[in-house]
Amino acid sequence: MDAADLAYSGIAAQAQMLRDREISSTELTDAYLARIEAIDPTLNAFREVFADQARAAAANADGRIARGDEAPLLGVPVAFKDELDIEGRVAQHGTDAYDRPARANAVHVQRILDAGAVVLGVTNLPELAVCGFTESRATGDTRNPWNTSRTPGGSSGGSGAAVAAGLVGAASASDGAGSIRIPAALNGLFGLKPQRGRISLMPEAEHWHGMSKTGCLTRRVIDTALWLDVAQGPAPGDAHTPPAPTGSYVDAAHRPPPPLRIGCTERSVRGLLPPVKEPAALAGLDAASAVLTDLGHSVEACDPPFGNAGNPMIALYLSGVQEHVESVPHPDRLESRTRGFGRLGGLVPERAVRSALTKQAAHAARIDQVFEQVDVLMTPVTSTLPVEVGRWRDKGALRTLLGMSRVYPYTAIWNYTGQPAAAVPVGFSSDGMPLSVMLIAPPNREDLLLALAAQMEDAIGWPDQRPPVEAM
């Protein structure tokens, strides 16, 4: 296996190769660090690379493996989105407004470290994870490895670009309104937004009034399943605790689903402005429908009863951003647009926030009625192909918010109502950009999404496709 094949092989395969002594963690880590040095100056996926620490951790992992130690990710390199607390380091959140080193690791970080992973570094995001593109004054522009004039999405754009370009096998990501699924879709990756509370956010009990979830971005479904097995579970202080899974997520990804009823719709919840709906972006639905039908599933038109759930969704998003803006140690260092998002959130009456939270369960229950007709719902992830880098540069908060609402209308509703949802690659547009669809399952059924997506991966073979970064 050459260096590029190894880089793209994914964390599950790498963990097995390390256990079998086919490769050392030091060799794997050095291979990734070399790729980052060669390729990342063009992409700007990483905010900081921990080269010396990663090499030391890899050497330690090699020693443990030689002694017969076992752990699910022992010696496997990963990266974290630069919003998670790492002991002794300032989590920058895409800005320069933080200056206080973390006193302890976040629960998510600690569980991945306890599984033996080697941390290569932290990836870029827009300020406070507010936007669906990864550009900021503090970190610069992050670019899509399939076409560097386009955005990799956001807010987990650094993680998306890094995994897509083979700079790391998996990276953490978070999703408050689509920030796992959007970068997954735009970079040709698999991205699962888990059920609310599936992975603890501690030391935060919740984020953006429960809109935010945390997970990862990977090329392969099995890699996400492995990450989820390691990271899932409650922690003291969590505001939300879903029922425990009935089995291993890795096992679920290996188990093909029975024939399923797949509901398909282009309809989105009513937002601030109507979506653009480019035919090229929506073509993923036809491609996915053909694959699913060939696999023995039935695909039928099905519109969920969204009602007016878009109004409370927007209220919680904006109010959550306002709270985050007000919490940073140095708000004066934030960009004017980010402060503008905070002011927009300040216009949301407190009674509207209370109402959004009070009615959340009722909205979710009504929308869940769709699962009485179908087993899984399928929609687009975005309504356009990746927009150009700088599309909203120097635009104010309101113009940016309205623009994003037209491009990213499909994802945020599932943050409000909480069900698991995943972006699944299904091919490429005529100009070589990834196409994707979103699969939504009933509450707590991440296992169903993993099983179905893994079956689609076998049929489509998207991990075999690589962006043209080797020539960079």
Which residues are marked as active site? 81, 155, 179
> CA–CA separation, 438 vs 265, rounded Å?
10
Q: For the stretch 263-295, what's the b/e string if a residue is b when 16 or more beta carbons lie within 10 angstroms of its beta carbon?
A: bbbeebbbbeeebeeeeebbbbbebbbebbeeb
H or E, element range at 407: helix 397-407
Residue 236 sits at the vertex; the CA angle it makes with 232 and 239, to the nearest 5 degrees, is 80
Compute φ and ψ for 172, nearest 5 degrees: -65, 155
Residues 6+ apart with CB under 8 A from 217: 156, 159, 160, 163, 170, 171, 173, 180, 183, 184, 187, 189, 190, 191
Residues 6+ apart with CB under 8 A from 442: 368, 371, 419, 448
Tokens representing residue 187 in the block? 């970079």
> CA–CA separation, 182 vs 107, rounded Å?
24
165 three-state secondary structure: coil
Tokens representing residue 154 in the block? 């956001």
Burial of residue 415 (CB within 10 Å: 0-12, 13-18, 19+) is buried
Residues 6+ apart with CB under 8 A from 166: 4, 7, 8, 35, 466, 469
> Could you tell me whether strands 170-175 and 135-136 are parallel, antiparallel, or unpaired per DSSP bridges?
unpaired
Beta strands in 331-447 (DSSP E): 376-380, 421-428, 434-440
> CA–CA separation, 295 vs 382, rounded Å?
25
Residues 6+ apart with CB under 8 A from 191: 160, 173, 180, 181, 183, 184, 185, 215, 217, 218, 224, 422, 423
Bridge partners, residue 427, by sequence: 435
Instruction: Read off the DSSP letter of residue 29.
Output: H
> CA–CA separation, 278 vs 295, rounded Å?
27
CB 32 within 8 A of CB 42: no
